[in-house]
Structure 1
Amino acid sequence: MLSLSDIVDARERVAGVARHTPLERSRTFSEMTDANVHLKLETFQRTGAFKIRGAMNRIATLSSAERDAGVVTASAGNHAQGVALAATEAGIDATVVMPRFAPVSKVKATRGYGASVVLHGVDYDEAQAHAHELERDQGRTYVHAFDDPTVMAGQGTIGLEVADDCPDVDTVVVPIGGGGLISGIAVAVKERLGHDVRVVGVQAAGASTAADSLRTGERRTIDSVDTIADGIATRTVGERTLAVMQEYVDEVVVVDDREIALALALLLERSKTLVEGAGAVPLAAVLSEAFEYDPDETIVATLCGGNIDLNRLTTVIRHGLVQMGRYLKVTIDLKDRPGELERVSTIVARAGANVYAVHHDRTSRDVAVNAAELELELETDDAEHAADIVDELEAHGYDVTITT
């Protein structure tokens, strides 16, 4: 079982590479929730995510023979970058297997940190299977992304920083993929501050196995994953991490992609903090009240990384704006006659909406010969404003369909 002394030792090993990241109180999210919300900003970590901690600790413990043979790992992106940088710092050759659909930015960053990248499989699990083949064929040491006590200890150094910077914390909220991060943090905060500190794990709905695994005491595996939180998109938790979570994690909850997108957009707009999907998951759980907490309860949300692909960011922000009521897409049936488009535009303008895009179609199969279909993308103030615009259009006799 992972111990506090393991994590303390890890802090010494990673100190020269990993940063002590900020922990800041958020007035915005505290006011929104009536809790005392703090953000642990691992987005400012080297490589943009927490994974450098565990990777560096594992590589620092390699034998001379293992160092000479090199290392191999599998990752959806953040662990890949952590291993690449840690290996380069130690002068060790590293090969990283990443899913074929891994974000381009993470693939390029991993190569930039000095590792050889092999793209294989549709998700983390298929990439991992191929990495183990390379491990056997090439005699390399496999650096597991989460199911390794040394890796867990490295991630647990975050928990020591939380204990130092926010000793009155009541609840620490941590994302769960394979379970390495929450295992390390849970041991650190509970053994340092006491077992009264609550540790809540959060998974994405499209990659949720931890709650069932903890309830049954056996690892549950799903056939596929589907979530914008690619950093925690694993089919199962680890054997070693499950054992630690059974002893140290108090509760596991689930959030969906809409809630994740909303949290990401709010962090960007209100806290000027860019996170990836996995990084937004803890705050999503707090904002959606996925678990119960008391007024004025001190909560630390662990924002585990900020490595989001720009193409994905555009999509996620748009979904976040939809959840905030700030983006509205509607389809309107028009009579195909002069002045109708201008009439609709006037109604929208008077209602105070800004037009993103307009698509006017007379040829759709679903449109009558004497009609046209108008699609509008609108910038709105909030959900109430969006509803008022729809009501105003309908009051003028238009049949409006909301398509977002």
Structure 2
Amino acid sequence: MVTLDKIYHAAFVLKDVVRKTDLIAAPRMSKHNEVYLKTENLQITGSFKVRGAGYKISQLSPEEQAKGVVACSAGNHAQGVALAATKMGIKSTICMPDGAPITKVESTKKLGGEVCLVPGSYDDAHTKAVALQEETGMSLIHPYDDEYVIAGQGTVGLEILEQLPDVDAIVVPIGGGGLISGVALAVKSLRPEVKIYGVQAAGAASMHAAIKNGAYQTLDAASTFADGIAVKTPGENTYEIIKEYVDEIFTVTEDEIAAAILALMEKQKLVTEGAGAVSVAASLFKKLPIRGKKVVCIVSGGNIDVTILSRVITRGLVMSGRKADLTIALEDKPGQLTLVSEIISGCGGNIVSVFHDRSDTNMAISSCFLKLSLETRDQEQIEQIRASLTAAGLQLVSERV
């Protein structure tokens, strides 16, 4: 069983293994409540996962440590296990799906882990890890559904109460449920009045569905770019703890996650991965009953693959009204482009690309489609531009804002 005493013991064991990450005020993230960020994205491995992995490995017997450890992970747990094992002089083998971000694979190797890439999904990697455990006698370090792992993650909750004793609510990302289970048990045991809210990606809301339906279950698929929380099967132990200690679970969309990543970069100078940003996304898009409250959002990880970061930024710009694509039907005659440019510049917008399409079969022979990409300030400015173009007699054929 996970107990408060075990979480305190984990904090003692981990004091020389992990960072006590900063809790920073983020006044620019909300006008309606006092937001703080628990920056686990700045943890040693770029994620909170090293806490649970480190505590679990520390509690293995000398005989178990001599045989080594095996784990399965899409990246963050892999790095946590590799670092903790290497610090203790223990061999680690990490099974990762072959589609895992290359940065996480390479980081795991640099931290001393032996990486076994497995074709397929996380579930395939888990099957391989179990097979290796049975073949070699190595100890399997589960990423979330283990009492020692949960206790290690619970040290985040202890730190938050120490850093902000009068906190009203804590918002926690959920994948398999290890982090929120440990945080909720620690915080509710000491401050039962503090609200604990969980957040999942809408395309991988396994724990949300389980709690809503009152039954533990596995999703048919987990679809989200937030790979750190793309979990089809939540933990059985974590499910029971969440039922008892977590107040409510919410979901956020892919676009909302992207907008949160962009907001954290621009307003707080923090790089986060999708899983790490879901707590902030829930706050930004007013999913939570936290108006007027002192709220901590746990930013659980920062290991985003740079190859998708540009796409995430673009999506975030669209979601926040900073980018818009417009298609305008024009008479193909001199002066039309000048008219459009003057209207948009007069509204304060900036045209970054222009494409004249005279080949579309849906338009008159004497017409063209003018396709524009704009940099804008916010949704209000986009609406102003649309209204001004329409008032000038121009026809907006299609738009993406």
Stretch deviating more after TM superposition (243-252 or 173-182): 243-252
Total equivalences in the alignment: 400
State the one-letter code of the partner of 1:308: I
Deviations 1:252-286 (Å, cap 9, x if unpaired)?
11111222222221111111222111111112212
State the one-letter code of the partner of 2:25: R
State the one-letter code of the partner of 1:43: N
Query: Is 1:210 aligned with 2:203?
Result: no
Match of 2:248 among 242, 251, 256: 251
Distance 2:348 2:163 in 1: 45
Match of 1:201 among 191, 198, 202: 198
In structure 1, runs of 5+ residues without a counterpart are none
Distance 1:46 1:393 in 2: 52
Quote the residue 2:16 is aligned against: 16
Deviation at 1:8, TM superposition (A): 0.9
Alignment of 1:62-77 (within 5 A): 62-77=60-75
Q: TM-score, normalised by structure 1?
A: 0.93
Would the alpha carbon gap of residues 366 and 76 (structure 1) be closer, same or farther in structure 2, given more than 3 Å must change?
Answer: farther
Deviations 1:69-91 (Å, cap 9, x if unpaired)?
22221112111111111122122
Deviation at 1:184, TM superposition (A): 0.6
Query: Is 1:280 aligned with 2:277?
Result: yes
**Structure 1 SS opposite 2:317:** helix
Quote the residue 1:300 is aligned against: 296
Would the alpha carbon gap of residues 366 and 170 (structure 1) be closer, same or farther in structure 2, given more than 3 Å must change?
Answer: same
**Structure 2 SS opposite 1:220:** coil
Deviation at 1:346, TM superposition (A): 3.6
Quote the residue 1:268 is aligned against: 265
Deviation at 1:46, TM superposition (A): 0.5
Quote the residue 2:381 is aligned against: 385
Would the alpha carbon gap of residues 392 and 215 (structure 1) be closer, same or farther in structure 2, given more than 3 Å must change?
Answer: closer
Quote the residue 2:97 is aligned against: 99
Q: What RMSD in Å do the two structures reach over aligned CA positions?
A: 1.9
Distance 1:129 1:342 in 2: 62
Distance 1:216 1:374 in 2: 49
Query: Is 1:319 aligned with 2:315?
Result: yes
Quote the residue 1:219 is aligned against: 216
Would the alpha carbon gap of residues 122 and 373 (structure 1) be closer, same or farther in structure 2, given more than 3 Å must change?
Answer: farther
1:98/1:117 contact within 8 Å kept: yes
Deviation at 1:169, TM superposition (A): 1.2
Distance 2:83 2:392 in 1: 61
Q: TM-score, normalised by structure 2?
A: 0.94
Quote the residue 1:124 is aligned against: 122
State the one-letter code of the partner of 1:18: V
Deviation at 1:128, TM superposition (A): 1.4
Distance 2:351 2:306 in 1: 23
1:40/1:300 contact within 8 Å kept: yes
**Structure 2 SS opposite 1:189:** helix
Deviation at 1:364, TM superposition (A): 4.2
Would the alpha carbon gap of residues 3 and 373 (structure 1) be closer, same or farther in structure 2, given more than 3 Å must change?
Answer: same
Deviations 1:192-220 (Å, cap 9, x if unpaired)?
x3212211111110111213322444312
**Structure 2 SS opposite 1:381:** coil
Would the alpha carbon gap of residues 291 and 89 (structure 1) be closer, same or farther in structure 2, given more than 3 Å must change?
Answer: same
Quote the residue 2:286 is aligned against: 289
1:178/1:241 contact within 8 Å kept: yes
**Structure 2 SS opposite 1:132:** helix
